[in-house]
Structures are given as structure tokens and as C-alpha cells.
Structure 1
Amino acid sequence: MAGRVPPIELAQTTVTPLGEPAPPVFADATGARRRRLRRLSYAAGLLAAVLLLAFWAGLAGLGPP
């Protein structure tokens, strides 16, 4: 019968054994990656702030004529 779903009580289910958890895909015990990303984030934020200030200064007419 197309388009009909059996009641949930009749659904066939199985239990999958979990076994041992998988090891982490990426682990940086030294913290080097975190420091590098933090510096990159600060640089991107500073660049965005400078560009925003330049945009506001241009709207206020403080830029070159």
C-alpha cells in the first residue's frame, strides 16, 4: 500500500552495540592551534574595526575631499 505508514508500535527496530568509543579526530595537547586561531581572530577583529571606523569617517565627511 503506497502512502501508508504502519503504526509506530509495529515498527521494526534494532539495537546497535556501541563498543569502545572512537578516539578523538583532532586533539592538540600543546594548545598551539588555539593560540594561532586566537591571534588570527584578534587580527581579523582589529581589521574590521579599522575598516568600520574608516567607513564612518567617510560618512561624516572627515576623509580627503
Structure 2
Amino acid sequence: MGAGQKIGHAAYQGPSVLKEIVYGLTLGLAAGGLWKIHHWKVQKQRKEFYRLLDEGVISVVREDE
């Protein structure tokens, strides 16, 4: 055996299924979390709008000039 035959070569084994699942779950949970935060923000704005509408502070009817 020559010296060149003793050197091991890193063989490409293809994608790791477990890594792909972990990456997918991580990205999915991150995107879902951001979407949920956005939803909470919109819900808070909507509740505030209807609260002000019920109190009579704002109106959706345009006043005549």
C-alpha cells in the first residue's frame, strides 16, 4: 500500500433526514411565532378601535362640513 491509499476521503452521504426535520421544525416554529405576534398586534388594534367606537370617542360616520 502506498501512502496515498491510507488517506481517507470524506464521502458525501446525502442529506441527513434528522437534520432536515430539525431545520424545518425550527424555521416553521419561528415563522409561526412571528405570525402569531403579528396576529396579537392586529387583534389589539381592533379591540382598541371598537372600544373607542363604543365609548363614542370616534365615529365611522363622516360629519357634514
TM-score, structure 2 length as denominator? 0.53
1:29 to 22, 29, 32: 22
Q: Which stretches of structure 1, 4 residues or more, deviate above 3 A after TM superposition?
A: none
Where does the alignment leave 5 or more consecutive residues of structure 2 unmatched? 1-19
- Structure with bigger helix share is 2
Distance (whole Å) between structure 2 residues aligned to residue 45 and residue 54 of structure 1: 14
Q: RMSD across aligned C-alpha pairs, in angstroms?
A: 1.7
Per the normalisation by structure 1, the TM-score is: 0.53
Unaligned runs of 5+ in 1: 1-26
Aligned residues: 39
Please list, as runs of the form range in 1=range in 2, the aligned pairs for 1:1-65 lying within 5 A after superposition. 28-30=21-23, 31-64=26-59
The alignment-based identity, stated in percent, is: 3
User: CA deviation digits over 1:8-30, x for unaligned, max 9?
Assistant: xxxxxxxxxxxxxxxxxxx7412
